[in-house]
Amino acid sequence: MSEIMLPRQNLREETAALRARILDKLSQLPWDGVRYVHDIPGLTLYRIVAPAGPFTSVSEPILSLIIQGSKRVHVGDKTLVYDESCFFLSAVGLPMTGHVCEASEGEPYVAATLRLDLEKLRRIIADHDIQTVEMPERDLGAAVGAGTPELFDALLRLISLAGSPADIPFLANQIQSEILYRLLTGEQGARLRRFALAGTNSNRVAKAVAWLRENYTRPLRVEELAEIANMGVSTLHHHFRAMTAMSPLQFQKHLRLHHARELMLSEQLDAATAALRVGYESPTQFSREYRRAFGHPPLRDVKAILNSGDSRRDSID
């Protein structure tokens, strides 16, 4: 067994009993298809009974823990694979594509995602003077880390609040703070801290990412984006690509294509209208880039999703 696989196998064994208890709790919940939206804001649960994908989404900062199964996530030209031994952390909203790798009726893919409250994260760092080992700032805004017993124990207690909703206002905030503390003091703590705190290059690029997400339909001027990030153009390019695995222009294109796909699915818009709505001036260019991103021309792709009832129209984290 490789040096990488051995720690993962050890983590699976260490968390097996906790994950079994989580699965038991989840079996008692009133599922609606593949998703259960918990009463705790930002906590969503997923259950899929066959390998599936691709799922395309523009994520929020999230923590995702797989209770059973495995998943592959593509961010730009980077690929991350995680399973029951890992957590997936996105510290900044990124366009991404995911595939559920392992799932069956007998052993479905089951996962939980928790939206990260960056303001709460900053308060924890300040109140407890959390220091982390410094790492190079030019790294991807998403990462895979060790799924420890402490994280799964906190997740179990959080999910269990579905059975006692009166306790949610008091206990949910404490458990969520505990989860953030575990992340900040774990192996990905330095990465998370940099994105949360002002003054770091990661935080500056995160501001540029946030601006692009709000203004993806506008023509992109990299000089303007650099001013928003308070960085030089060349520095912004280097750090932006390191964080997102894309250039700012590629990032904008991914945002436009993802949103156009959602418009065609949710509002039944034709490709040309959707293209204009998201900022494309040329429907031909839109169709060409759409096919390159999703594998099929817009009309064929959307028809295939609608006719098959495929859950690719939803993000499965």
Q: Does residue 7 register a pLDDT over 70? A: yes
Strand spans (E) along 22-181:
35-37, 43-48, 52-58, 62-68, 70-75, 78-83, 86-90, 95-102, 109-115, 142-146
Tokens read off for 30: 């009133």
Do residues 253 and 275 lie in contact, with contact meaning Cβ atoms separated by under 8 Å?
Answer: no
Q: Does residue 260 register a pLDDT over 90? A: yes
Would you state the pLDDT for residue 3?
A: 38
**Beta-bridge partner residues of 52:** 100
Distance separating alpha carbons of residues 128 and 93, to the nearest angstrom: 26
Lowest-confidence region among 18-27, 52-61, 94-103, 265-274: 52-61
| Count of CB atoms situated within 10 Å of the CB of 16 | 13
Distance separating alpha carbons of residues 130 and 196, to the nearest angstrom: 12
Lowest-confidence region among 50-64, 119-133, 169-183, 276-290: 119-133
Distance separating alpha carbons of residues 74 and 56, to the nearest angstrom: 10
| Count of CB atoms situated within 10 Å of the CB of 265 | 17
Q: What is the mean pLDDT of residues 217-242?
A: 91
Tokens read off for 221: 């001027």
Do residues 145 and 247 lie in contact, with contact meaning Cβ atoms separated by under 8 Å?
Answer: no
Q: Is the peptide bond before 54 cis (omega within 30 degrees of 0)?
A: yes
Q: Does residue 144 register a pLDDT over 80? A: yes
Distance separating alpha carbons of residues 174 and 171, to the nearest angstrom: 5
**For residue 277, with 0-12 CB atoms within 10 Å meaning exposed, 13-18 middle and 19 or more buried, which class applies?**
middle
Distance separating alpha carbons of residues 177 and 180, to the nearest angstrom: 5
Residues 236, 238, 243, 246, Cα dihedral to 10°:
100
Three-class secondary structure of residue 92 per DSSP:
coil
Distance separating alpha carbons of residues 200 and 125, to the nearest angstrom: 15
Lowest-confidence region among 46-60, 69-83, 272-286: 46-60
Give the distance, in angstroms, between the CA of residue 258 and the centroid of all CA atoms in the same chain.
14
Q: Does residue 311 register a pLDDT over 60? A: no
Do residues 124 and 181 lie in contact, with contact meaning Cβ atoms separated by under 8 Å?
Answer: yes
Q: Does residue 263 register a pLDDT over 60? A: yes
Would you state the pLDDT for residue 60?
A: 82
